Structure 1
Amino acid sequence: MRALIAAATGLALALALVLLIGALGPSSGRTSPKPLLTTVPPHP
């Protein structure tokens, strides 16, 4: 019975955390002004 209560408590806390993060809204969406170096170097 203790395991069932612990599992239910953990599930409730996880759900509350997901709802809290969802309520905070998305991030600002800003990106770095510097481009990433993802190009392949030229072959010799």
Structure 2
Amino acid sequence: MEILVAIMIEDRSGVDNLKRILSVPGIDMVLEGAVDLSESYGVPG
């Protein structure tokens, strides 16, 4: 059995802390929540 660990970045704080988040061992994939992320920057998605 294999386990895939994926995280989703959905807002500005996720982007601001991305380096710190990615330093966590075991993360295999990073996804972005396009609509939530753009709205957190004030751009309707």
Q: TM-score range by the shorter chain?
A: under 0.3
More strand by share: 2
Larger Rg: 1
More helix by share: 1
> Structure 2-normalised TM-score?
0.21
